[in-house]
Amino acid sequence: MISRLVLIRHAKAENRKADVPDIERKLTKVGRRSIRARFPLTMHLLSDLNSDDLRIWSSPAHRALQTADVAAETLGISNVETHDVLYPGDIDEFVTELAEATGTVVVVGHNPYIEELYLKVGGERQHFDKGAVASFAFDVSAEDVLESTADLEWFVQGPQVQRWKTIVCLERALDKAGERIEKRADMLLADPQDPEVLHQYRISIRVARSLVRFAQPYIKRGDCRDVLSGLKSLQDPTSRLRELDMLVTSLTPYTVEYDACNGLCQQAREDFNITFAKRSTQKNLHKITKQLRELPFRASIEEQGVGEDELSARVQTMREDYEWEMSELDFNDQEAVHDVRKSAKEMRYVTRELSDVFSEDAVHVNEQAKLVQDRLGELCDCRTNARLVVEICGADAVSVAARFIMRADEIVAELDAVRK
């Protein structure tokens, strides 16, 4: 005679697909995360449990078996028994099997079967969300499980998976960012002479840095710091070459200034490409992207998840800070312009890469941020070009530098007019 019956509905599973049999549908990453966080707390309610007197029965459906495995791991049980009767389920046949069991039986199945079992055992109806758990205690002195008095010990509704969906979205974005860096690095190795390939490689690193900074409150501090430092070490060696590329593009071909700057640019590209192609550089790159894709979340975040409203609030704060910085920005302060441009980039990248989390309003923020980023980027480039051309060509290039400064002044006037 059983002493306790624990009913569990499987966690959130993949949607039905025409080419995938229902029995083969798996748990989503959100589903696995939610019960890995919730089950240790829920199963703690089974405080008087004797693991030697425990059985875990599961439907043969993949999603139920995955849920049962998490329950077994939580309870310290190594074996999960598959019972075909739990899929699609015959209540009377199941009760017949249950009558031959002893101790505690944990049953992992599906709706409406689990809810029907609850009704049959407890006499009342109870809705089970995905991952919900109920525990009934039985009078072991009865001869038949159906004649026994079953008392509901407790019922815990399934976890709010939305809180773990945000974590999965962050994980997916970080994983995608690491994959993108590796892909762009491979393209750069294959075509090291193309300035645009270098540019796309730099953007991939910037996107990753923006995402890590945004996720920083939820990630273990030391790991976050190491990855940010590593990403910066990938980006820094590209900065000088990118500046030279932008300068050469802006100069009139076949002029003295163009020839001097282009020659220096080509030498810088050759030096960079030699270093970039080294085995040690590539090994370090893959080490950093691996760390990025495996960033561990803080224990409290793993347990509780993160609400979409919290992430939206962080984006709103980014937006408010950026709007305040823009309203106070002195366009003649190059360092301040650079910082606001960086804020616009981060807001743009974060809202784009986490579009599954944010509302349509975030898309508008993304578009606004891109416009500002482009204009401030042009302003920064003009000033950098003016500095570099004099630095490389000397006083004879002052007239060329003046053209860049004049264009910078035009951009400042345009931005001032928009702001007013």
Give tens-digit pLDDT for 90-144. 788 888 888 888 889 999 999 999 999 999 888 899 999 999 999 998 876 666 6
Confidence of residue 219 (pLDDT cuts 50, 70, 90): very high
Contact 216, 306 (CB under 8 A): no
Return the closest-CA partner of residue 241 out of 201, 195, 308: 195
Q: How many CB atoms lie within 10 A of CB 127?
A: 11
Q: Which three-class secondary structure state does DSSP give residue 53? A: helix
Residue-level pLDDT at 100: 85
Mean pLDDT of 202-218: 96
pLDDT number for residue 292? 97
Render pLDDT for 382-415 as a digit per residue (tens, 0 to 9). Answer: 999 999 999 999 988 999 999 999 999 999 998 8
pLDDT at 269: 97
User: So what's the pLDDT on residue 208?
Assistant: 98
| Cβ proximity of 56 and 71 under 8 Å | yes
State residue 143's pLDDT score: 61
- pLDDT score of 171: 93
Question: Does 223 have pLDDT greater than 80?
Answer: yes
What region, left, alpha or beta, does residue 131 occupy, with left being phi > 0 and alpha being psi -120 to 50 degrees? left
Classify 56 as helix, strand or coil. Answer: strand
Provide, rounded to the nearest whole percent, the portion of the chain with pLDDT above 90.
63
pLDDT score for 364: 62
Identify the CA nearest to 137 among candidates 58, 51, 45: 45
Angle (CA) 388-390-392 rounded to 5° is: 65
Check if the beta carbon of residue 128 is closer than 8 Å to that of residue 114.
yes
231-241 pLDDT, tens digit each: 999 999 999 99
**Whole-structure pTM value:** 0.84
pLDDT at 2 over 90: no
Task: Give me the chain's average pLDDT, please.
Answer: 90
Of 176-180, 215-219, 315-319, the one with minimum mean pLDDT is 315-319
Q: Which residue has the higher pLDDT, 23 or 359?
A: 23
- Structural domains for the chain: 2-159 (3.40.50.1240), 164-419 (1.40.20.10)
Query: Looking at the predicted structure, is the pLDDT value of residue 245 above 70?
Result: yes
Question: Which is more confident, 415 or 210?
Answer: 210
Q: Taking a C-beta distance cutoff of 8 angstroms, is the pair 308, 357 a contact?
A: yes
pLDDT computed for residue 323 by the predictor:
84
| Confidence band, pLDDT 50/70/90 cuts, at residue 145 | low
More confident residue, 161 or 180: 180
What does the DSSP assignment read for 172-225? HHHHHHHHHHHHHHHHHHH-TT-HHHHHHHHHHHHHHHHHHHHHGGGB-HHHHH
Of 70, 67, 55, 80, the closest CA to residue 26 belongs to 67
* Residue 135 confidence (pLDDT): 94
